[in-house]
Structure 1
Amino acid sequence: MAEALVSVLLEQLASITRHQIEEEVRLVVGVDQEVENLKGHLQAVQGVLQDAEERQVKEANVKNWLCNLKDVSYQINDILDEWNTAILKNHMEKQEKEGENNDLVLAKRNKVRFSIPSFLRNILICFGQIGDRIIMRHDIAKRIKEINERLTSIAILRNDYNFQSTVRGTEQVERSKTTSFVDVSTIIGRDEEKNKILSMLKSESGHQLVIPIVGMGGLGKTAFAQSVYHDQNVTTHFHQRIWVCVSDPFEEIKIAQAIIEKVLKQSDPRKDSDKFQTLLECISDNIVGIKFLLVLDDVWNPTDPKWGPLKAALQKGDANSRILVTTRKDMVAIMMGATKDHMINLNKLSDRHCLDLFHRIAFFDKDKDESKLFDEGIKNKIAKKVDGLPLAAKTLASLMRYKKTRKEWVAVLESKMWELEEVEQQVFKSLLLSYYDLTPAVRQCLLFCAVFPKDYKFDRNELIECWMSQEYLSMKGDKEKERMIGQQYFDNLVMRSFFQDFVKGGVNDDIIGCKMHDIVHDFVQFLTKNECFIMEVVESGKEKNMVVDNKVRHLNIMSTYNDSFPISIYNCKGLRILVISTSKLPSLPSDSFSKLKSIRTLKLNGNSITEVPESIGGLVHLRYLDLSENEELKELPDSVGNLFNLETLRLIWCLGLGELPVSLRKLVNLKHLYILGCRDLKVPKEIGRLRNLQILDYLKIGGEDDEGIFKLGDLGNLEQLHGSLYIANLKSAKDGSEAKNAELVNKKNLLHLTLQFGNFFGDPERAEDEEILNGFQVHTNLESLSIGNYQSTTLCPSWMMSCHNLRRLVFAYVPFCGVLAPLGKLPSLEYLKIHRMESVKKVGVEFLGITGETPQTLINSFPKLKTLKFEMMDEWEEWEGVEEEDSKITIMPSLLYLEIDNCPWLKALPNFLWKIPLQELSIEGRDCSILGQWFETRCGTEWVKKASQVQNIKINGKFVKKDGVGMLEED
C-alpha cells in the first residue's frame, strides 16, 4: 500500500510544479528546495517498498517502518492536496471576478445609503483575499519543512534493513474478455452430500425443520448451499425460497425483515417496524400454509432469546418447510435445534477433486499445450499447498493462470510465503501470494474493501468511484482514463478470485456487482487491521472497538447508541474514509466535520438524515459524497459549493429534496451527479457550466415558466456525458428544436437513454410528442433505448433506424400508436419489450421490416434478437406470418425466449416461430384465454409438433406436454 501511495505523491509533486507557475500561486521563497528534497527522499524509498511490503508480514520492525512511512505520506498527501486546492481556488476567483463586480450596477439603481462604496469594498475584499492566500502559503510552507524532517529520518533508516531494491517496469493491467472470467458454478466432489441433503429437503416427514451445513472456513459451504438452493428438485418442491446472509452479529430484526420481503402477500404496514415482536407477527400471518425453504448463510452467534421466537414464527408455515443453515460451529447447529443425524458435515476435498477444480480455472480458455505444466510433480505440490480447501485451490489456480512457464510455477510453489507461521489460516498463504502478485495500485483497491462488512454487496461503479476519490486510479497521471483504469482493476480482482457471487446486467451482460468471500474479507482486514475499523456501539452506550488511535484511516460505523453521533471518532484526525451504515442517525452535529478535515470518501446513505451541517464545506479534500436514500433530507447547504475537489455526488432516492443549490456551479471537478429517484428535484441551469460532468443519471425537464431551471437544450453544454441518462417530463419541452439543442448526437459515450414524456396514465393525445422525439438525434454508439408515456400516434423517428449498435429497446405506455415501426431492420437488437401499446390491433410484416411485395434480395429480420416480450396489448388480435415457401426471408434466427403477457384477444401465433431456435415460450395472464384455447385446437397441436425445438411452453404457470395432444401439466 505504501508503494502505491508514494507513487501518487510523486505524481502530485510533478503536477503541482507544472501548474503553480501558471496560476501564480508559488509558495514562499526557499521552499522550492524543500520540495526537491521531498522528491528525492520519496524516490529513494520507492525502490525498496516491494521488498518491505512482503517482509512486513513476519518482521515487526519492518512493519513499524512502513507504518511510519505511510503516516508521513498521508500527511504529505494532505499538504499537497491543500496546495493544489489553493491553485484551483485561485483559478475559480479569476473566472468569477466579473460576476462579483455587479455591485456597481446595483448601487446606481438604489437610493443613497450609508455604506462603504462598492469599489472600495471590492478593493478591501481583494486585499483580504491576498492576505489570506499569503498566510495560507506560509502555513503550507512551514508544514512541508516539518514533514520533510520526518521523511528524512525515515529514508535514512531504510539502510538498516538491507532491503532488496526492486525496479518495476511499466504497469500492465491485465485485461481479458468477459468470457475468460472463471465462475465455477459446478460443485466438485460433493455429490454424496448433495444427494443426502436433497433427500432431507424433500422428505414429507415434517419432523426436521433445521438442517445445518457445518464445516471450517474455505470449504465452500455457501457455494454448496447455493447449488442446492438453485437445484431444479428444490425450486419445484417449495412454494417460496428465501436466502438471508447473517454473519456476525446475529441481527434478528434484519433477518426478520429480509424474510418478510419475500413472503409478504400484500401491503402490510408492520413490515417497516423496528420492533422484533411486530415483525414476528407479520411473519406468522404471511407464512401460513406456505412450504418454504429458508437459507440462513454464515451463522455465528445466535442466542436463544433471538432465535427461539423467530423459529416459532417460522413454524407457522407448512410442516414440510425447511431451514438450511451454514455455519462453522457444531454448537451453533445444535443450539438452533438440529440433531446430529440431520447435519451435513463438509470435510476437506480429496486431492483428486482439488486438482480437478484447480485445472478448470488455471487452464480455462488456454491451449492444450500449456497444460503440460501440470505434471505429476507439480500436481503433488499443489495438492499439498491447497490442503483440501476449495477456496485455496481456486485462489492458487487464479494466480497460476498468468504464469507462463514451469519456472514461474515452481517459484510460486516454493515461495517462502508457505512457511509463514504468523499466518494461521492455510488459505491466507495462497491469498498472500496472489495479493503480492498484484500491482501496488490494485492492492490498494482490494484493501479498500476491508471497510465494508461481510456479505456486503459491492456495486462495481460505486466501488470504482470510491477508488477514484482515494486517488488509487491516477497512477499514470491521466485523470480522463480513471474510470477505464478502475474497470480494469475491478476485472483483475475478479479474475484473481478475490470477488465472487457475481451479478450481471446491462446490455453487455457485464459483471456489475459482487460479494467477497468471508475468508477473503478476513484476509483484507488482517492486512489493514491498524488502519481500518468497523465500529459498533452496544446497548449500554459503550463503543465496541472504541476508536482512539489517530492512525485509523478507514472507519465504518455500523451502529450507534440512542441515535447519537459517536464522538470518539474525533480522535481519528487523519481519517480518509468514513462510512456510516446504521439507519438510525437522524441528525449530524453542527461541528461533526470540522475535526475530520482529511476525509476523501464520505458515505452517509440510508441514514435518515434530515439536515447536512454547513461544516461539510470545510472538507477541502472530499471527493466522494453519498447522501442517497435519506428521504427526509430537504436541501443541501450552500457550503457544498466549497468542495472544489468533489468528483462524485450521490443523491439517489432523496425523495424530499426540492432543489440543488446554485453554488454547485463552482464544483469544476464534479464528474458524477446521481439524482435518480429525486422526482421533484429542480436542477439549476448553472449545472450546465460543469463541463467535466460525465454522469448525470436523471433529469426532470423544467417548463418555460421555470426560470433558472435546467432545460432540455442545456444538455448541449454537457459534452462529456457517459453511461446512462433518464430524461423525464419531456412534454414540457418547447418543441423539436429544443431536443435538437440537447446535442445527443455529439455524446458518443452516452450508451443508455430513457425518454419519458409524461405521467404514467391518463395523459391526452399530444401531437407535439412526435415533433420532440423527431428533434432528437443520437450517436450511433447508443446501445439501449427506452421510450415511455409517449402520447402521439406515430412512433418511428428517422434516427432510430440509424442506431446500428442498439441492442436493447423498450416501448412502454404508448396508447395512441397503432402501428409498430420496422424494428426488424435493426441489425444488433437483442432484447425488445413492447408494453401497453393499446391501439395496436395487428402486428404485420412491416414490423419485421418486410414490405408486401416479393423481396428481390435476401432479408434477415431481427438477426440477433434473443428475447421478445409483448405485455398488456389490450387490442392486439392478429400476428401476421409469412409465406412458408419464401426462401429469401430469414426471421428471428437467434430468438430464444418469447413472452406474451396479458394480451386477451390474440388468437394465434405466426407460422415462422416454429422454424426458429426458440427455447422457451411463456404465455401469462388470466386474460390470455383465447390463445390458450388455440393451443388445445388442432392448429395449436400441429404448431406444438412442428416447434419441436421449444423446450418449455408454459401457459399460466403450466407446461404444455410434448406428446402433441396439447394437454396442460402442472409446473
Structure 2
Amino acid sequence: MAEPVVAAILQQLATIIDREVREGVKLVVGVEKEVRRLSSNLSAIEAVLEDAEKKQLKDAAVKDWLAKLKEISYDMDNLVDEWNTAITKKQIASGENAPLHGKVLSSILRPCVSLAHSCFRYGIARKIKEMDERLSVIAVEKDRFNFSHIRGAEEPERLRTTSFFDESEVRGRDGEKALVLTELLSGSQSPSQPYIMSVVGMGGIGKTTLAQLVYNDKEVIRYFDRRIWVCVSDPFDEVKVAKAILQSLNGDSPNYTEFETILVKIHEAIVGNKFLLILDDVWTEDRARWEPLHHCLKCGAQGSRILVTTRKETVALMMETNYRVTLESLSEKDCWSLFGRIAFFGRRDEERESLEDVGKEIVKKCKGLPLAAKTLGSLLRFKRTREEWQSVMNSELWELEEAEKGIFPPLLLSYYDLPSTLRRCFSYCAVFPKDYKIEKDRLIKLWMAQGYIRPRGSQRVDIVAQEYFDHLAMRSFFQDFEKDEEGDIVICKMHDIVHDVAQFLTKNECLLIEVNVRGEPKLNLCFQKACHSTMILPSGAPFLVSPYDGKKLRSLLLQFIGRPSISAEALHDLFDQLTCLRALDLHDSLIEELPREIGKLRHLRFLDLSYNVKLKVLPESLCDLCNLQSLNISGCNYLKSLPCGIGKLINLRFIDNSQTVHLSFIPQGIGRLTSLQRLTMFFVTGKGKKHGASTLADLKYLNHLQGTLQIGGLGNVANVAEAKKAELLSKKYLAKLQLSFDGKEANSRMIHDSKLLEALEPPPDLKCLSIQFNEGKIVSPNWMMSLAKLKELKLIQCNNCEHLPPLGKLLSLESLVVSGIRRVKNVGIEFLGIKVDGAANNPSIVAFPNLKLLKFGYMDEWQEWDFRSH
C-alpha cells in the first residue's frame, strides 16, 4: 500500500526539478544533492515494497517498519505537494496563466513573488534535509529484513483443490447446481467445440464446492465418457495443466517434456469421447497460454463440456464462455446451518440453546460467505462460554487472529493479483461504512484527489480511472451493481468481508468515527495517524475537530443522520487544523457561510458542498486552492454566483452545478479552465448585469467537456457571432446538451433565435438534446438531421414554432417529447421524414425505427393528425 505513494513522490520530485530547471531557477545550495539522495533511498525502498507488504502478514517487525515508512511517505508527499503548489501559484501570479488584462498587474507583483518564492525554497530545503535524515534510517532498517527484489516473491499460500468432498456438509446451492446441471446435460452447442461454462465469484463464495457438486453428480457420471479435474491456480503453467489432464485420462504420470507431445497424447485419449473437464481456480487472462490447449480439446464428441471456476470476469471473457453463472452469497438460513453444523458439533441441546442468539448475530458478520461461516464455526467450536462467544460477536472480523489466518488469505490472493496502483484504490474503500452505496463517479474523483491514478503518456486520467474501477469490479471486489440506461455501473457496494479485508490492510489508516449527541467520538483507537475518515454525526451533535487531533487527515467525509448544521466557527477550526486534506465532503450540512480560511487547504483536490441549501456565497479565497480538481455545488439552490477568481483554479476538472436555479453569474475566468471535463450548467448573463460575466465565447477552449451541459440564458445573447465562438461542434465528448433560450435581452427574438440555434451546432455523436423556450418559427436547424446517434430529443415551450421538423429521419431516436409547441395546427407525413411523392407506400421506408416513447403535451392549437399519403 505504500508502494503507490512512494512512486508518486518519485514522479513528483522529478517533475519539480525539471520545472525549476526549465524556469532557470538555481536551487538552494545542497538541495539538489539532498533530493537526489532522497530519490535514491526511495527507489531502493520501492524495489522491495511488494515483498515487504506480503511479509507483514507473518512478521510484526515488518508491519511496524511499513507503518513508519507509510508515515514518512505521507509527510514527504505533503512536502513535495507544497513545493509543487508554490511553483504553480508563482506561475499564476506571474501571469503565465492570466488573461491579457492581468499582465500589467502581474508585472508589478513579480518582484514580490520572486522574493517570497526564494524564501519559500529555503524553507523547503530545510524540510527536505529533515526528511532525508528520517528516510535514511528507514532505508538502513530495511536491509535487516532481507527483502526480495523479485515481485510476487511471497504471498498467502494457495490451497490445491480436488474433486473429493462430503456432500452432506454442503449447505444451499441447490438452485445453482440445478442450473449448471441443466446446461451440462443439455444438447446446447457452441460453433466450435467444446462448450465452455464458467462459474464466477469472489474468493470463499463456494465456486469449487459447486464444481464438486456437479462433478460428482450421478447423472453427470453416467452422461460423460471421461471426467477430468485440474486445479489450475496461479501462475498458469500450460505444460503442467496439460500433464495433469493427461495423467487424469491415462492414470499414470508419463515423463513427457515437450508440450507438443503432451497435447498429441491428450488428443488421442479424448478423440470421439464425450468429456467433462473442470478447470478450477483459473487466474490467467493471457489468451496465448490458453489457445493451444483449447484447440487440442476440440476433438471430443458432441456434448463435451469445459467448466471453469474463476474470480475474474475477464477470465470468463477471455475463454469465450458460452454460459456463465455468477455465484452470489448464501442465504442467512443456509449460512446459519453451515455455521451451526461446525460450531455446535458435540454440544448438548441446552448448551446450544443458550448460545443460539449470540451465534445468529455472529453469522450476520459472514454476510453469506461460506468460508467465513466455516472459519468462525471452527473458531467457536472450542469456545465453551457465552462470554467467549460474545467477545467474537463484539469484535470486527479484521481484528480476529482466526479471520486473519482462515478467512483473509484466500481473499488476499485476489488483492495481491492486482497491480500496486489498483491495490491502493481498493484499500481506500475502507473509508466507507459497511453496506454503503458507493457512487462510482464520486469514488473515481476521490481516487484522483489522492493521486492514485497514474496515466501513461497522453492517456486521459478519467479514462484510466474508469479502467481501474472496471478491473476491480470484474475481479469481484464490488457487487450489487446499479446501472444506468446505457448499462454502465453507477452505484455498487462491497461485500462486508471484502470490506473487512480492506480494513485489515489499512488498519488505523482508514477510520469510521461515530459521534454521539454530545459530540463525543465512539473511538478507542489513536486518531493522530489516521489518513482517511468518515465521520457520522447524528442530528443535534456538535461538530468538533480539536479533540480528535487528526492533523494528518487526507480525507474527511461527513455523513449526517438528520439535518444538523455546521457553524462557521466549527468550519474555521476545521480549515485551520486539517491542512493536509485532499478530499473534504461537507454535503447536505446546512452550511450558511463558508469561511475564507478554506484557502488554507492548499492540498485540497475534492470539495463537495452539494445540497447546502442555505449557502449563498463562495468566498474568493476558494480560488487560492490551485490544486482543486472537483467542486460539487449541485443543489445549492440559493447560490447566485461563482467567485470571480475562479480562473485561477487551473487544475479544476469537474464543476457540478446542477440544480442551482439561482446561479446566474458565471465569471469570465471560466474560459481559462481548459482542463474542465464537467460543467453541468453554463448561464449567459444579459447586458448591463454584473461586470465580468462570461459569454458564450468563454466556452471556446473547453473542449474536454463531457457528460451533460446545460446552457441557459441564451435569450440574452444579442450577437449570433458570439454563439459561433462557443464552437460546440468541437465538444466531441458531450453526450447530453440542453439549450435554453430564456432571457429577454435580444431583439427580434423570432428571427434571432432561429439563427442563434443554427450557430449552436453540437458534436455529431450527441445522444440527448433538449431545446427550450426558442422563439423561432421552425425549430429545425440544418444540423439536427445529422445527429445520427441521437437517442433522446425534447422540444419544450417553443411558442412560435408552427411546423415540427422531419424527426422520423432520426433513426436512433428512442424518446421524443414535444411539449408547449402551441402554434402547431397540423402534424402530417412530413413529421415522419417521408416524402409525399408516393414513397410513403414503400414498405422499406420506416420512420422512427427505434422509437420507444412518444409524448405530446400542451399543444393548444393542434387540430389535425394526418399521415395519409397524397
TM-score above 0.5, yes or no: yes
Match of 1:461 among 441, 451, 455: 441
Q: Are 1:701 and 2:684 counterparts?
A: yes
Does the C-alpha gap of structure 1 residues 658 and 220 become closer, same or farther in structure 2, counting only changes over 3 Å? Answer: farther
Q: Which has the higher contact order (CA 8 A, sep 6+)?
A: 2
CA contact (8 A) 1:661 1:684 kept: yes
- SS at 1:503 equivalent: strand
Superposed displacement of residue 429, structure 1 = 3.6
Aligned residue for 2:344? none
- SS at 1:598 equivalent: coil
Superposed displacement of residue 380, structure 1 = 9.8
Superposed displacement of residue 85, structure 1 = 1.2
What runs of 5+ residues in structure 1 fail to find an aligned partner? 105-118, 169-186, 194-216, 222-347, 363-370, 384-392, 406-417, 887-971
Q: Are 1:868 and 2:853 counterparts?
A: yes
Once the two structures are superposed, the pairs formed by residues 469-868 of structure 1 within 5 Å of their partners are: 469-474=449-454, 476=456, 481-505=460-484, 508-545=486-523, 548-559=526-537, 562-568=540-546, 571-582=549-560, 583-588=563-568, 589=570, 590-681=572-663, 682-706=665-689, 707-758=691-742, 766-855=750-839, 860-862=845-847, 865-868=850-853
CA contact (8 A) 1:849 1:861 kept: no
The whole-number CA distance in structure 2 between the counterparts of 1:372 and 1:800 is 59
CA contact (8 A) 1:23 1:91 kept: no
Q: Are 1:12 and 2:37 counterparts?
A: no
Match of 2:414 among 413, 416, 434: 434
Q: Amino acid of the residue matched to residue 702 of structure 1? A: T
The whole-number CA distance in structure 1 between the counterparts of 2:318 and 2:10 is 31
Superposed displacement of residue 854, structure 1 = 2.6
The whole-number CA distance in structure 2 between the counterparts of 1:98 and 1:773 is 31
Q: Amino acid of the residue matched to residue 64 of structure 1? A: D
Superposed displacement of residue 26, structure 1 = 4.4
The whole-number CA distance in structure 1 between the counterparts of 2:525 and 2:661 is 39
CA contact (8 A) 1:57 1:422 kept: no
CA contact (8 A) 1:4 1:440 kept: yes
Aligned residue for 1:78? 78
Superposed displacement of residue 499, structure 1 = 1.8
Superposed displacement of residue 191, structure 1 = 9.2
Q: Are 1:23 and 2:23 counterparts?
A: yes
CA contact (8 A) 2:311 2:476 kept: no
- SS at 1:502 equivalent: strand
The whole-number CA distance in structure 2 between the counterparts of 1:188 and 1:836 is 56
Superposed displacement of residue 686, structure 1 = 2.1
Q: Amino acid of the residue matched to residue 458 of structure 1? A: I
Aligned residue for 1:55? 55
Aligned residue for 1:109? none
Does the C-alpha gap of structure 1 residues 717 and 399 become closer, same or farther in structure 2, counting only changes over 3 Å? Answer: closer
CA contact (8 A) 1:842 1:880 kept: yes
Does the C-alpha gap of structure 1 residues 444 and 355 become closer, same or farther in structure 2, counting only changes over 3 Å? Answer: farther
Superposed displacement of residue 797, structure 1 = 0.6
Aligned residue for 1:151? 135
CA contact (8 A) 1:560 1:566 kept: no
Superposed displacement of residue 882, structure 1 = 6.5
The whole-number CA distance in structure 1 between the counterparts of 2:588 and 2:36 is 46
CA contact (8 A) 1:396 1:431 kept: no
CA contact (8 A) 2:788 2:812 kept: yes
- SS at 2:174 equivalent: coil
Aligned residue for 2:36? 36
Does the C-alpha gap of structure 1 residues 354 and 602 become closer, same or farther in structure 2, counting only changes over 3 Å? Answer: farther
Q: Could you list the per-position Cα deviations for residues 233-280 of structure 1 after superposition, in whole angstroms to 9, with x for gaps in the alignment?
A: xxxxxxxxxxxxxxxxxxxxxxxxxxxxxxxxxxxxxxxxxxxxxxxx
Does the C-alpha gap of structure 1 residues 778 and 133 become closer, same or farther in structure 2, counting only changes over 3 Å? Answer: same
- SS at 2:795 equivalent: strand
CA RMSD of the aligned region, Å? 4.0
Q: Could you list the per-position Cα deviations for residues 500-550 of structure 1 after superposition, in whole angstroms to 9, with x for gaps in the alignment?
A: 2222225x4322222223332233222222201111112344311166432
Q: Could you list the per-position Cα deviations for residues 842-868 of structure 1 after superposition, in whole angstroms to 9, with x for gaps in the alignment?
A: 443222221001339995445751523
CA contact (8 A) 2:819 2:859 kept: no
Q: Are 1:136 and 2:120 counterparts?
A: yes
Aligned residue for 2:259? none
Aligned residue for 1:180? none
- SS at 1:755 equivalent: strand
Superposed displacement of residue 799, structure 1 = 0.9
The number of residue pairs the alignment matches comes to 663
The whole-number CA distance in structure 1 between the counterparts of 2:216 and 2:646 is 57
The whole-number CA distance in structure 2 between the counterparts of 1:83 and 1:18 is 13
Higher alpha-carbon deviation: 659-668 or 585-594: 585-594
Higher alpha-carbon deviation: 581-590 or 738-747: 581-590
Once the two structures are superposed, the pairs formed by residues 243-282 of structure 1 within 5 Å of their partners are: none
Q: Amino acid of the residue matched to residue 352 of structure 1? A: L
The whole-number CA distance in structure 2 between the counterparts of 1:51 and 1:757 is 61
Aligned residue for 2:311? 396
TM-score if structure 2 supplies the norm length?
Answer: 0.69
Superposed displacement of residue 605, structure 1 = 0.9
Q: Could you list the per-position Cα deviations for residues 424-483 of structure 1 after superposition, in whole angstroms to 9, with x for gaps in the alignment?
A: 5865443322111111111111222221223332222222121111111135365x6100
Does the C-alpha gap of structure 1 residues 737 and 381 become closer, same or farther in structure 2, counting only changes over 3 Å? Answer: closer
The whole-number CA distance in structure 2 between the counterparts of 1:83 and 1:655 is 37
Once the two structures are superposed, the pairs formed by residues 74-223 of structure 1 within 5 Å of their partners are: 74-95=74-95, 128-166=112-150, 189-190=174-175
CA contact (8 A) 1:679 1:700 kept: no
Match of 2:213 among 352, 355, 360: 352
CA contact (8 A) 1:548 1:568 kept: no
- SS at 2:774 equivalent: coil
The whole-number CA distance in structure 2 between the counterparts of 1:355 and 1:145 is 66
Superposed displacement of residue 626, structure 1 = 1.0
- SS at 2:508 equivalent: coil
